[in-house]
Amino acid sequence: MRIRRVFRSVSGFVAQLGMALLKAVVTSVLIGAFAVGLMHYMGVPVPNPHDLLMGITRLAESLS
């Protein structure tokens, strides 16, 4: 019985953690898309998505 309670509490925690992670990713993608769209509308030169991803990859490699 005790193992079931522990399993339920851990699975509940993992489910809440997953939902929080999903919300954070969706929110950051939406805010990023809005910011890029606004910058493009204002005439600020915005790099294409491939260049942005390459910059993020280089940053991640240098930090690891």
Domain map (residue ranges) of the chain: 2-63
Mean pLDDT in each 10-residue stretch from start to end of the chain (64 residues)? 79 93 95 92 90 88 88
How large a percentage of the chain has pLDDT more than 70?
A: 98
8-25 residue pLDDT tens = 888 889 999 999 999 999
Instruction: Report the distance separating Cα 36 and Cα 54, nearest Å.
Output: 17
Which pLDDT value is given to residue 17?
95
Which pLDDT value is given to residue 2?
78
Mean predicted lDDT score pLDDT of the chain: 90
Contact between residue 44 and residue 37 where contact means Cβ atoms under 8 Å apart: no
